[in-house]
Amino acid sequence: MAMLVEQIMNGLQYSALLFLLAAGLTLILGIMNVVNLAHGSFYMIGAFCAAAAVSSTGSFLVAVLAAVVGAGLYGLIVERLIISRLYHRDHLDQVLATLGVLMFTNALVTVVFGRNPPFVAIPSFLSGSIQIMPGLNYPIMRLAFIAAGVLVAVGLWFLIIKTRVGMLVRAGADDSEMVDALGINIRRLFMLVFTIGAFLCGFAGVMAAPLLAVEIGMGEKMLITTLVVIVVGGVGSVRGALLGSLLVGMTDAFGRAYIPIWMSQLLPPQYSDSVSSSIVSASIYILMAIVLLVRPRGLIPAQR
C-alpha cells in the first residue's frame, strides 16, 4: 500500500513538472498556432541559471529568481527576433526555425556555462522527508514540487477565468478582428503569452535542478514528453495540459515501478531487463498513439 502511494506521489511530482512546461506550450500552440521546439531550451536555461546562481550565492531563492528571469528574458528575445516572424508561417517553417533556436541554445549554454554545471543541492529548508502515512516517508523537495504545480495551476486558472487577458485566451484570440475591437494589441498579447510560457519553463528548471541531472540536452527530453502531454490532453487548453500531465506522469511513474516487476516474472532474466526498459521508455508514446488513434484532437482540446 505504501508503495502504491509512493508511486502516486512520484507520478504527481512528475506531472507537476510536465504541467509547468505543458501549460505554456499548449497556450503558445493553441493561441498563436506556433510549434515551438525551443520550449525545452527555456527549461534548460532556467536550470543552468539556477545552478550558476546557487554556486555563486548559495541561496536557492536567488536561484529561483535567476532561473525565472533568465528564461523569461531569453524567451522574450527569441519571441521578438524570431517567433514574431513565424506567426503566419506554416508549421514546417516554425519547426525548422525553432529547431535552429534549439541547436543554437544548446551551443550557447555550453559556451556560457560549460558542459557540466555545478551540482544543485536541495536547499536546506526543503531537504529531508516527512511521514505522509505510516510506513512512508516522502522527500519534502518533491512535495514542494507538487505544491508548486498546484499553485501554478490555480494561478493560471485565476488568470484565465478572471482577467481580460484570460478572456482572450479562452475566446481563442486568433481572431484578430475581435481582438482589435476590444482594443487589445494582438502582438503584445502573443508576446505576453510566450514570455509567460518561458517564465514557467524557467520555474520548472529551477525546481527540477535539485532532482534531475542538469545537462545539455535536458531540454530535448522534456520537450518531447511535453509535446506528448499536450497532444494527449488536447491542444490549446490548459485543462487539457493538466489532464495530459497527470496521465503521462502517472503512466511513467507506474510504468517505471511495475513494468520491470512484471517483465521479470514473464521473461528470463537476460531479456527482462532490456525489454522492460524499452517498454518503460516507450510507454508514454504508446499511450499517445492510442489516444490519437481514438481521439485525433486529444482528450479535451480547446473548442474552435
Partner 1 sequence: MNRKNFVVGLIFVILLLVPTLADAVSNSFLINTATRFVIYALAAVSLDLVLGYGAMISFGHAAFFGIGGYVVAIMAHHMDMGETIFGWAGTNSAVIVWILAMVFAAFIGLIMGFLSLRTTGLQFIMITLAFAQMLYFVLVGLVMYGGDDGLSITSRNVLPFVDISNNRTFYYVCLAILIFWVWLCRRIVKSPFGMVLRGFKENERRNINLGYAPLRYKLSAFVFSAAGTGLAGALWANYALYASPDMAAWLKSGEFMAMIILGGMGTIFGPVLGTAVYLGLEQLLTGWTENWMLFLGPVLILVVLFSKRGLFGWLAGGKSHD
- The residues of the shown chain that bind partner 1, judged by CB under 8 A, are 29, 35, 82, 85-86, 91-93, 95-97, 99-108, 110-111, 220, 224, 227-228, 231, 235, 270, 273-275, 277-278, 281-282, 285-286, 288-289, 292-293, 296-298
Helix (H, G, I), strand (E, B) or coil at 301: coil
Residue 294: CB minimum distance to partner 1, A: 10
Cβ proximity to partner 1, 223 vs 242, nearer residue: 223
Residue 220: CB minimum distance to partner 1, A: 7
Q: What cell does 302 get?
A: 480547446
- The residue among 279, 251, 256, 188 whose CA lies nearest residue 15 is 251
Cβ proximity to partner 1, 91 vs 162, nearer residue: 91
Question: For residue 92, what is the enclosing H or E element?
Answer: helix 91-113
CB contact set of 225 (below 8 Å; sequence gap of 6+): 18, 248, 284
Cβ proximity to partner 1, 130 vs 286, nearer residue: 286
Cβ proximity to partner 1, 262 vs 285, nearer residue: 285
Q: Is 279 exposed, middle or buried (0-12, 13-18, 19+ CB in 10 A)?
A: middle
Rounded CA-CA distance 54/56 in Å is 5
Residue 263: CB minimum distance to partner 1, A: 11
Residue 241: CB minimum distance to partner 1, A: 14
Rounded CA-CA distance 49/62 in Å is 10
Residue 243: CB minimum distance to partner 1, A: 16
Cβ proximity to partner 1, 9 vs 228, nearer residue: 228
- The residue among 147, 119, 48 whose CA lies nearest residue 155 is 147
Residue 163: CB minimum distance to partner 1, A: 27
**Which residue in the block uniquely carries the three cell numbers 498579447?**
189
Cβ proximity to partner 1, 3 vs 266, nearer residue: 266
